A and B are shown apart, each in its own frame.
Chain A
Amino acid sequence: MSEVIATNQTILVVGGGISGMTAALEAAECGKQVLLVEKNPTVGGRVSQLYKYFPKLCHPKCGLEINLRRMKANRNLRLMTLTEVTAVEGEAGNYSVTLKTSPRYVNDNCTACGACADAVEAEFDDEHNYGLMKRKGAWLPFNQAYPFRYVLDPRIIGTPDADKAKAACKYDAIDLDMQEEETTITVGAIVWATGWRPYDAGKIQPYGYDRFDNVITSVELERMMDPHGPTGGKILRPSDGKEAKDVAFIQCAGSRDKNHLKHCSRICCMASLKQATYLPEQYGEDYKGTIYYIDIRAIDRLDDFYQNIQKDPNIKFVKSKVASITEDKETGNPVLHGVDTEGYHRYSNPHDLVVLAIGMEPSVPADGFPMEVVINEEGFVELDEKNGAFFAAGCSSDALDVNRAVQSGTASALRAIQVVNRVAGAEG
């Protein structure tokens, strides 16, 4: 895109999740020129996939709305979606960055009327819902997407579906000739906010995520709770669609484990405690929750939240890392096996549904960075002088909850601002 104007006083923010949006907005609101690039067709990231935040149990929609308003109002901030960073060269204050922008096949005439989606027949796994439901080949990523524009899946281009979508559009918004574009820009500092992804639960062999329908992950439960999600806001067993009223949560699923992620993912304890409140929200008093844990890490002010859940007579805590899960063929119930630490009692407990409090790993693998970057053993970016003006924000720097990710985003914005200020000073 030739209209992108960036100089070595521009801050490039990579990743439009909560950390990247925060960093971009904080810097832009300080009067700095900011370019925010996002790989997906919309900003919002993982936060947009959450049902509620802990500890306040409010809906992320609202915070997202505020950030989107701030973005729309700010003239210093430029957003590029469907864009990835492919190469970075240079040094602090003067980076040459190559960007690759994939075609959306929809221009800004789009009114998000949805006629193209109605016309298209092909369906694909819906990324926003972790593949728990299907979406059309022309789709709006979610109802708060920004830019609020449809996208055409590249897999339908060249098929009759693409022509159907074009024919259905009354606003001439579909452009099937859009091509991938490469742009090289100059920036002064880079805020790297590429975030996290849930650890691949199938790799935790004894838990049988890939074998048993009723073993799901915590991020999938978040999607189930969404009224627009795959189950219309209900906690339903994937095997038979029945309401799951006896739910087990397994902590440290993939975290704190030499065989998987060595680090503590930090969010999972609070995530499960939060999800324990979804049960009374759904069922009133007719529910059972069991949390299997090694130790609950609800620190500082979050301890109040933990203590409140402990008071709930329907929620049981079992101090034990579950050794394995089997399936009761007749009922489809997952059966959890292990030995608890408070008395060494052997148990084999059936539940309606098991939620793996899945660990967090950096989205970008160690060999996936566009430049040489100092990362730690777990793949998170270190704060290291060798990284120059490449500053990690949010979950690319550590396993963080939303609150800390926002703080980290702001901190990175300040670091980046110092760099471009130095550049500005030197150039008078």
Chain B
Amino acid sequence: MSDYNQQMIEKYRGNFLKEVEANVEEGDWVKMCMQCGVCSGSCPLGPHWEHPPQEIFMMIRANKREDILSSSSMWMCTSCYNCIARCPRGLPITHIMHGLATYAKRLGLAPKEQPTAKFAQLFWDNLTKTGRVNELKLGLSLYFMNGFGEGIKTALKMKDVGLGMLKTKRMTPMEMLGGHKCKDVKGLQAMLKKAEELEEARIGKRG
């Protein structure tokens, strides 16, 4: 539990809907849900959700704060937009799901082992290091995401693809040594740091 999480609990004590409306992207749409269930039924990953979107909207109104924010559900969204296309009330469901995931992450409540969340962090760390995505390192860190043994197994399984990419010059082993970068890495990192500060000031995160 982060301090920020505690801060938010105190601020919105007992009214999670208000908290969502104020802090989650497109959160003020949540109250428009009429519980018809078309979103859940239309989701291609639907069976894999712990709580389908329709249930999440109801849980928000029922103040199930921890259950939702620590849930892996909204991390399952693949942005296919089926739900938005079909929602009879035009709720931007995809965006709300991403908004909830972002908010959970900001509060430090996002599930640590959820693959989407994990990969997103790997991608971000990889990108911000040099200002360019290092695909070799990203690929390898993805393989070894769940431990050394599994990493070796995945790497062996994928070796033909990797060799093919080397052969056609889609990837170079030289990337292992630092890799290509943008012109002004320090400048980029300073920008990102500033952006983070501005964001924290905007959301009122202390310390």
Q: Which of B29-37, B95-103, B111-119 contacts A (4 or more CB under 8 A)?
A: B29-37
Within 8 A of B (CB), among A313-363: 320-324, 337-341, 344, 346
Interface pair A320/B37, CB less than 8 Å apart: yes
Interface pair B41/A323, CB less than 8 Å apart: yes
Checking B40, B42, B89 against A258 with a beta-carbon cut-off of 8 angstroms, the contacting residue is B89
Contact A321 to B47, CB < 8 A, known contacts A256-B88, A344-B54: no
Contacts of B90 in A (CB 8 A): 258
Q: In the bound complex, how far is the Cα of B42 from the Cα of A320, in angstroms?
A: 12
Within 8 A of A (CB), among B80-133: 85-90
Contacts of B145 in A (CB 8 A): none
Q: In the bound complex, how far is the Cα of B89 from the Cα of A339, in angstroms?
A: 17
Q: In the bound complex, how far is the Cα of B52 from the Cα of A420, in angstroms?
A: 60
A159 at the interface (CB under 8 A from B): no
Contact A341 to B54, CB < 8 A, known contacts A294-B34, A320-B41: yes
Interface pair A252/B88, CB less than 8 Å apart: yes
Interface pair A324/B46, CB less than 8 Å apart: no
Contacts of A323 in B (CB 8 A): 37-38, 40-42, 86
Interface pair B46/A346, CB less than 8 Å apart: yes
Which interface residue of B37, B47, B86, B87 has the most chain A CB atoms within 10 A?
A: B37
Q: In the bound complex, how far is the Cα of B37 from the Cα of A344, in angstroms?
A: 8
Q: How large is the interface on A (under 10, 10 to 19, 20 to 34, 35 or more residues)?
A: 20 to 34
Contacts of A206 in B (CB 8 A): 42, 86
Within 8 A of A (CB), among B183-201: none
B175 at the interface (CB under 8 A from A): no
Interface pair B88/A339, CB less than 8 Å apart: no
A308 at the interface (CB under 8 A from B): no
> By the criterion of a CB under 8 Å from any partner CB, how many residues of chain B are at the interface?
20
Q: In the bound complex, how far is the Cα of B37 from the Cα of A327, in angstroms?
A: 21
Contacts of A256 in B (CB 8 A): 88
Interface pair B52/A344, CB less than 8 Å apart: yes
Interface pair A321/B55, CB less than 8 Å apart: no
A257 at the interface (CB under 8 A from B): yes
Closest A residue to B51 by beta carbon equals A344
Contacts of A143 in B (CB 8 A): none
Interface pair B88/A259, CB less than 8 Å apart: yes
Interface pair B41/A338, CB less than 8 Å apart: yes
Contacts of B46 in A (CB 8 A): 339, 346
Which interface residue of A257, A320, A339 has the most chain B CB atoms within 10 A?
A: A339
Interface pair B52/A324, CB less than 8 Å apart: no
Interface pair B36/A321, CB less than 8 Å apart: yes
Closest B residue to A339 by beta carbon equals B40
Q: In the bound complex, how far is the Cα of B53 from the Cα of A341, in angstroms?
A: 11
Contacts of B87 in A (CB 8 A): 258
Interface pair B35/A339, CB less than 8 Å apart: no
Smallest CB separation, B56 vs chain A (Å): 10
Q: In the bound complex, how far is the Cα of B41 from the Cα of A321, in angstroms?
A: 9
Q: In the bound complex, how far is the Cα of B88 from the Cα of A206, in angstroms?
A: 13
Q: In the bound complex, how far is the Cα of B35 from the Cα of A339, in angstroms?
A: 10
Checking A257, A258, A337 against B41 with a beta-carbon cut-off of 8 angstroms, the contacting residue is A337
Q: In the bound complex, how far is the Cα of B40 from the Cα of A128, in angstroms?
A: 39
Checking B36, B51, B86 against A320 with a beta-carbon cut-off of 8 angstroms, the contacting residue is B36
Smallest CB separation, B180 vs chain A (Å): 45
Checking B37, B55, B88 against A338 with a beta-carbon cut-off of 8 angstroms, the contacting residue is B37
Contacts of B54 in A (CB 8 A): 339, 341, 344
* 26 residue pairs from A and B, CB less than 8 Å apart: A206-B42, A252-B36, A258-B87, A258-B90, A259-B85, A259-B88, A320-B36, A320-B41, A321-B36, A321-B38, A322-B38, A322-B41, A323-B37, A323-B38, A323-B41, A323-B86, A338-B40, A338-B41, A339-B37, A339-B40, A339-B41, A339-B46, A339-B54, A341-B36, A344-B51, A346-B40
Q: A294-B36, A338-B40, A344-B51 are in contact. List 13 more A-B contacts (CB 8 A).
A: A252-B36, A257-B88, A258-B87, A259-B88, A320-B36, A322-B38, A338-B38, A338-B41, A339-B41, A339-B52, A344-B37, A344-B52, A344-B54
Give the top 8 A-B pairs by smallest Cβ distance, nearest first: A323-B41, A338-B41, A321-B36, A257-B88, A339-B40, A258-B90, A323-B42, A320-B37
